[in-house]
Amino acid sequence: MKFKIFLYPVLIFLIIFCIDKLSIIPSIQKLGRIENSPLENIANGVAKIYKKKKIENELQTKLLKESSNLTDSKKSAVVLGTSRSDILKFSERDFIQQSKFITQKEKEKLLQFEIETRSVVKASDFLYHLILFKNIVDSGYKPNLVIIEVSPETTNLNSPFHAKTQYTTNILKYQFLIELSQIAEKSWLKTVLTSVLFPSSYYKFKPEKAISNLIAKKDYLSDNNVIEAYEFFPATAALPTSYEDYEVKSFPLNKFQERIVDYSNHLHKDNILRNYQISTSELALFDLLLKEIKSSKIPVVFWRPKVHPYYYAIQMQEGLAEIDSLLENKIKEAGYSYINLQNTSMNCDFFTDSSHHSGRCAPEILSKILSTE
C-alpha cells in the first residue's frame, strides 16, 4: 500500500513529463508556441534570401554550361558580425569607386564581390554567429566567402549581450538547447536544463492555442510580416551625406569627450567590457562555429575590427590582447585566414566613436579582409 502511494506521484510526473515533450514535435509546436523571437525573424528572413540566391546560382551555372558567350557572375560574400560589421554595408558600387583609400586594382577586386550584410546583427555574439552560419548551410546556399567578425569583448561573461542573454531573449531549436546545456556556465545552466526537461514552458506552448490554430488552419507564423519584408532591406548602401565621423586625431574637443572618452567609459563600466571575465560558454560556441564551418566546406575569413586608440588602451588594460591571441590561434589551427585590423596599417583612420571605425573606411576594410583569401 505504501509502495502504491509512493508510485502514483511518480507515474503522474512521468505522464506529465512525456506529454510535455509533445511541444518539441515541429508539427505540434508550430500550432501552439509563442510568436517568432528576434533571432528567428532574422534567420527566417535571410534564409529566404539565401534560398533565392541558391536558385539564381543554379540557373547561372546552367546557363554558363549552355553558352560560351556568357561570363561568370559576381562572387558572393556574406558578413556575420555585430555593429562593428554593420559599416560593411557601405559597399555600394559607386561608393567603392569613389573611395580615395584604396587603389584601382583593389577596387576592381572588391567590385567582383556582391556583399551581403543582412545577417549582421548589432549587439550579437558567437551564439548568433553560429546559428546564422548554420542558417546558411541549412538553406543549401554556398557563398564564395563568409566574413566573420571576432571582437574580443564577445568572450566577456558579464557582457549584456552574452549567450545567456541571447538565450533568454530568443527562442532556440530544441537540439540547440541540448547543446547549450553541455556548455553553459553554472550561472545559467539550471535555466537551460529546465528548458530542456520542460520545453513547453520554454516555448510558452498553449494547448488551447494549438487547437484554435489547428481549426483556423493557422500557426505561429501566420501573422508574421517581418520575414517577408526582410528581403526588401538593402544589402548595401552609400554613405549618407549627413554621416558624422572624424579622423582619429581630428575630433573636436566636445565630440572627443562625448564619443571617445565618455563612450569608452560607458563600454568599460556598464556595457560590453564591464567586469571582464572570460566566458567558457562563448569560447565553446566559437569552437562549435569552427566545427560547423569545417563540415560545411564554405570558405571563411575572420577579422578583428579596429577601435579608437583611446578605447584600445582600455581593451589592453583588461587583458584582451591574450583573448585576441587565443581566438587567432583557434582560427589558424582550424586552417582559416584571420586579420587583426588593430595591428594593420590603414589609410582610412576615421571613427564615429571609440568602438566603431567609420563606414567611410568600409571599402578599405573589405579590401584588407579579401587580401587574406
pLDDT tens sequence across 163-174:
999 999 999 999
Pick the most confident of 58-62, 69-73, 147-151, 207-211.
147-151
Report, as an integer, the average pLDDT of 24-33: 91
pLDDT of residue 44: 93
307 falls within a domain: yes
Number of domains observed in the structure of the chain: 1
186 falls within a domain: yes
Instruction: Using the predicted structure, report yes or no on whether residue 96 has a pLDDT greater than 60.
Output: yes
Instruction: Using the predicted structure, report yes or no on whether residue 150 has a pLDDT greater than 80.
Output: yes
Across the chain, mean pLDDT equals 92
Helix, strand, coil % in the chain, rounded to nearest 5: 60, 10, 35
pLDDT of residue 22: 83
Nearest 5°: the CA angle 187, 191, 192 is 100
pLDDT of residue 56: 87
9 falls within a domain: no
175 falls within a domain: yes
Compare 178 and 225 and report the one with higher pLDDT. Answer: 178
Residues 6+ apart with CB under 8 A from 32: 23, 205, 206, 207, 208, 209, 210, 211, 213, 220
Per-residue confidence band for 224, with pLDDT thresholds at 50, 70 and 90: confident
pLDDT of residue 62: 79
214 falls within a domain: yes
- Domain of residue 278, residue span: 38-53+75-370
pLDDT of residue 222: 86
Per-residue confidence band for 5, with pLDDT thresholds at 50, 70 and 90: low
Compare 220 and 280 and report the one with higher pLDDT. Answer: 280
pLDDT tens readout for residues 307-334: 999 999 999 999 999 999 999 999 999 9
Report, as an integer, the average pLDDT of 187-191: 96
Q: Which among 257, 39, 240 is positioned nearest to 132, based on CA atoms?
A: 39
pLDDT of residue 8: 58
pTM of the model: 0.93
Q: Cβ(118)–Cβ(230) under 8 Å?
A: yes
Report, as an integer, the average pLDDT of 7-31: 76
46 falls within a domain: yes
Q: Cβ(77)–Cβ(136) under 8 Å?
A: no
12 falls within a domain: no
Per-residue confidence band for 230, with pLDDT thresholds at 50, 70 and 90: confident
pLDDT tens readout for residues 250-295: 999 999 999 999 999 999 999 999 999 999 999 999 999 999 999 9
